A and B are shown apart, each in its own frame.
Chain A
Amino acid sequence: MLNQWILIGTLAVATYLSRIVGIAFMAHRNMNPTLRLYFNYVPIAIITALLVKQVFIPTGGRLMLSSPVLISCFVAAISISLTKRFLPSVVLGVIIGLVCRHLIF
């Protein structure tokens, strides 16, 4: 429990600093356009890496593909591409993944 509070406190400080530093110190400076582009791509890379870690699960020292997770992600991806609606796409992805898990895999 103490570790959780330390984690929360540390994350709160780190996150707030990243917000206030941008406003207080970077507002009147010209940032290198290359660095700006780099920062734009960082969230894409991190979210993708997280997805890979969720789809390929370490089991007994080996990586195993989780088909229900993969299918649910595909369904959500196709749904949001077609409908542009976040919430229904998430719900649909979860339902299809659940159905796959219980009926197919």
Chain B
Amino acid sequence: MLHQKKSTVKTACVEAFPLAIAIAAYGMSYGVLAMQVNFSLLTTVAMSVFVFSGSAQLVTVAMLAGGAGLTSVLLTVILLNLRNLLYGAALAEGIEPAKKWTRLLAFGVTDEPFVLASARFKKVGPDPTYFAVVAAIFYIAWIFASFFGALIGNQLDPQKWGLDLAFPVTFAALLVPGLKGKPVIGTALTAVILALCLEGFKPGNELTIILTGLLAPLVGLFIHRRTSHA
């Protein structure tokens, strides 16, 4: 039993390590950007400790940089978090053996642990230990990276060092590998057109992200239906 747990922990560490480096890069970007919108070192790290959501945190600082208000940020984050409902539903069976610890493990339901754990559960069945180790590695990487990003960001001129470029470049690098299949590409192209129209109508439009996030996926659904019925 103990040997099996050790083996699970080792596997989790090996499989999580490359992603943890990517998450750290992403966390550094968040830390730098958070300092640019006047977060302190404490609040920058606190958001990583209590929220632990790369996309939500980066969206928050990006929206704040654009002058968005709390309501607008919250609505966008809720929309962005909708996928967690799916992740949770899909992972529930795999982490169920953890019983009372399930509520704690729920905190680790994000994109990367979902990808790793769903593959693991498919291979070996429910394995809450694996999920716990993977989520813990990403959590620690995320917090430390946010801290160091905030430290660096506070001392450097972001424009001079190109740190302001980290955010769009990070999202481009996250977006492009997922652009496979007509429905996804259709969603992305519609999002570009919609966002441009909304921004053209009112530059700095607070509703651009929310409306695009709500409407563009409908085009993806439409294309999916057409291609699957063809």
The residue on A at minimum CB distance from B92 is A27
Residue from the list B80, B87, B221 in contact with A41, Cβ < 8 A = B221
Residues of B19-47 at the interface with A, using a CB-CB cut-off of 8 Å, are 21-22, 25, 29, 39-40, 43, 46-47
Number of interface residues of B (CB under 8 A): 91
Q: Say what secondary structure dominates the interface of chain A.
A: helix
The answer on a CB contact under 8 Å between B162 and A39 is: no
In the complex, whether B86 has a CB less than 8 A from a CB of chain A is yes
Least CB distance from A85 to B in Å reads: 9
The answer on a CB contact under 8 Å between A90 and B92 is: no
- 24 intermolecular pairs with C-beta atoms under 8 Å apart: A1-B40, A11-B57, A11-B77, A15-B53, A23-B88, A23-B92, A24-B106, A26-B92, A31-B89, A36-B86, A37-B220, A41-B184, A44-B175, A45-B187, A46-B80, A50-B62, A52-B196, A53-B209, A72-B165, A73-B169, A86-B174, A87-B21, A87-B22, A97-B165
Residues of B within 8 A of A (CB): 21-22, 25, 29, 39-40, 43, 46-47, 50-53, 55-57, 59-60, 62, 66, 70, 73-74, 76-89, 91-93, 95-96, 102-103, 106-107, 109, 159, 161-163, 165-179, 183-184, 187-188, 190-192, 194-196, 199-200, 203-204, 208-209, 212-213, 215-218, 220-221, 224
